[in-house]
Structure 1
């Protein structure tokens, strides 16, 4: 894996479940051991007698219950991941893994377990004085309150976590974020793409994989230091092989500069949502397409996916691009609108060709998008409407259903004239 920018590293680290677990565990360990050092600083009035082994008994109950709750929570989370991958799309799993509520719940339960275990061990070795035992007791009450509040929130969260609607909402939000970011900066702050001179040197991928992101600032700085013009050839979401050109450079680039340019491209095994405007649309389309499989036969979910796709494409069409060029030494191509439409609608138009309700919804979505699109973009949507009409008409045996699709397609394309 190459080209991991520190901002990306920090953002991903916060989403890793092990990181939050480790953080809560260390915090619990520090709090449970604090009593020995903070206890002597407390006034004598804090040296209270809570009864023989009362603190140890409470900690034992907390430890045994938190171990069971942690195990249960982990089982539920794994089941949700597996169910989402099987019923929706495996691309949604990375969004569920980054869920803050489930990570906080699991981390709180494990942290409470560690707090209780360490407290029990410390009590058995006379680690605390009387005031330290008082502080431990008060800390235990606070931990219990946190656990109860977290458990209530976690139970409520489980009623929706990993369900179809929840996964659709998460994927739509991820698609919205990346599509809007792309619409605001379609060339990533660089200048629009131009023809690559024949003399330009290719910067080739050092390993096969998928381009998941470009560290634009690092790329621009390396190019500026060497006085180069960089033509980006591989956008986020593109699969590359060993030696596939990632970029072309005008000017002289030594090996160190070429390595710096290559490292600005993040090449990994799997696509991510971070800078890829197509992946969210692909995932929404996969959810709808899987719902149309004969084993599932759920046109309603496919229509829900189409509604989400319409909202995301509406965001794309209505978000204004920033005209400022921050990196004039970069030449960056844009993602084709036709590719975005094909990613979003082709699988649904194909797999729903024999279902009139899906075919009608596809045409209505395209008609609404044609209404708000610029003339050039509207032509692309109209072409997609014609292809979807052909698929639907070819898959419907009933003449009445075919006429419905034909009428809906004509209405959709006519909206370009309004």
Structure 2
């Protein structure tokens, strides 16, 4: 399969590291501290006469106000973020919280406020020790002005961002975007056939996991190097997001490999206690369906949110059908990946919505129309899509009490699949 190069294990680890909420905060704090001390190192470049004209002695009071205000703003920002996380956990779905934690705008705002606070504190301490002198104060004043401008810009962005941060619509958009982005990282074909199809499997040495967990990343580049060096074919049996245990093979080698090769193959699979969005579009569809199920619960009774989820999931599946081959991650020649089954994607997404929204005609009609649009767009997948549509209609018949509603959803389904295929 042609396509872009898949991320290596270390690139994946680095990406996870840069998403940590403390990472950007630590970088901004280091920058703030370095900027505060820059005046002591470069103060000799400023003439004493210029320093006197500028009046840099006023920087003491400015730094004091900056330190006190930034501490309050940082506390407020943390409170707002925690409140958004708690709200998403209780009213949307806990699985979507990680996308809020990884939000770059929120992390940049928190890092800016914390870094500015540290800049002010370091500057105040250095001033009290006489480290700057008259000329060093000029550089400190210039740095303070630059920091204030940066704070104002960040604060304006944060005010606009926090108005929708963690809301239901915002979370649905984030999950849809994460699922769509994950489509470009998958490195396997899409199986649109209906029914169960046994896949031919090479015989050889199985490589098994030593623990239980979810596959979050597969280092295809490393597997390709192993295959060439050991002169073996590698058959990968799992995809990102799947649960693995020591009883089931991660991969099969066409030769009897030694312990070193087996260890390297095993280390190419990154396992974690929880699923991640990055390489697992199926997880994105699962989380979308959870949002819809929560909205359709008797305690919430919000069919509008479920309809928004159906439309978002339909866009993700449509993007999968339309994705050019060169946007998929490339697979080395001697490595074979298992296909991603469309039946699994549809079951994960449609079945919970069809079950929990079976008694709501508006949800049932929107689901039928979305499936019909996907079937019309991808005729090869029509049979398997129709199976999900039929399942949704069967559930609606059992749950609906109005004969008119039942007749309506049956008519919508009949019109959508009028040719009977």
- Whether these two folds match at TM > 0.5 is yes
Following superposition of structure 1 onto structure 2, how do residues 286-365 of structure 1 map, counting pairs within 5 Å?
286-322=290-326, 326-365=331-370
Q: Which residue of 2 aligns with 1:391?
A: 395
- Kept in 2, the 8 Å contact 1:21–1:107? The answer is yes
Distance in 2 (CA, whole Å) between partners of 1:325 and 1:163 is: 36
**Cα deviations across residues 91-135 of structure 1 (Å, max 9, x unaligned)?**
211111111111111000001100000011011110111110111
Deviation at 1:43, TM superposition (A): 3.0
CA contact (8 A) 2:56 2:134 kept: no
- The whole-number CA distance in structure 1 between the counterparts of 2:69 and 2:332 is 56
Structure 2 equivalent of residue 17 of structure 1: 21
Q: 1:186 and 2:188 equivalent? A: yes
Checking the alignment, whether the CA contact within 8 Å between 1:370 and 1:415 is kept in structure 2 is no
Alignment of 1:2-401 (within 5 A): 5-48=9-52, 54-182=58-186, 185-187=187-189, 195-198=200-203, 200-322=204-326, 326-375=331-380, 377-401=381-405
Whole-angstrom distance in 2 between the partners of 1:410 and 1:243: 45
Which structure carries more relative contact order (alpha carbon 8 Å, separation 6+)?
2
Rounded Cα–Cα distance in structure 1 between residues aligned with 2:371 and 2:75: 47
* CA distance in 1 between partners of 2:266 and 2:183 (Å): 25
Instruction: Find the counterpart in structure 2 of residue 403 from structure 1.
Output: 407
Structure 1 residue aligned with 2:193: none
CA contact (8 A) 2:354 2:392 kept: yes
Q: In the aligned structure 2, how far is the partner of 1:180 from the partner of 1:296?
A: 35
1:204–1:242 Cα contact (<8 Å) kept: yes
Aligned residues of 1:303 and 1:361 also touching (Cα < 8 A) = yes
Relative to structure 1, the CA distance from residue 326 to residue 244 in structure 2 (aligned partners, 3 Å threshold; closer, same or farther) is closer
State the alpha-carbon separation in 1 of the partners of residues 145 and 369 from structure 2: 58
Cα distance between partner residues in 2 of 1:410 and 1:245: 43
Alpha-carbon contact 1:228-1:252 (below 8 Å) kept: no
**Under a length normalisation based on structure 2, what TM-score does the superposition of the two structures give?**
0.92
Change (3 A) 1:18 1:324: closer
Partners of 2:386 and 2:406 in 1: how far apart? Answer: 18
After TM superposition, give the deviation of residue 416 of structure 1 in Å. Answer: 7.2
What CA distance in whole angstroms lies between the structure 2 residues aligned with 1:265 and 1:53? 59
Instruction: Please give the per-residue CA displacement for 1:280-313, whole angstroms capped at 9, x wherever unaligned.
Output: 1111111111100111100000000001011111
Quickly say closer, same or farther: Cα 1:416–1:65, change in 2 above 3 A: farther
> What secondary structure, in the 3-state scheme, does the structure 1 residue paired with 2:271 have?
strand
Q: For residues 226 and 194 of structure 1, what CA distance do their matches in structure 2 show?
A: 25
Shift of 1:180: 4.3
* Counterpart secondary structure, 1:414: coil
Could you tell me which runs of 5 or more consecutive residues in structure 2 were left unpaired when the two chains were aligned: 1-6, 191-197
Worse overlay, 77-86 or 290-299: 77-86
Check whether the contact 2:57–2:137 (CA below 8 A) recurs between aligned residues.
no
- Other structure's SS at 2:239 match: coil
Structure 1: tracts of 5 or more residues without a match = none
In 2: Cα distance, 1:180 partner to 1:409 partner: 32
TM-score, with length taken from structure 1: 0.93
2-side partners of 1:195 and 1:359: how far apart?
38
Residue 3 of structure 2 corresponds to which residue in structure 1?
none
Query: Partners of 1:265 and 1:390 in 2: how far apart?
Result: 40
2:274 counterpart SS class: coil
Secondary structure of residue in 2 paired with 1:267: strand
* Alignment CA distance shift 1:24-1:416 (3 Å): farther
CA distance in 2, matches of 1:204, 1:276: 21
Change (3 A) 1:251 1:268: same
SS in 2 for 1:207: coil
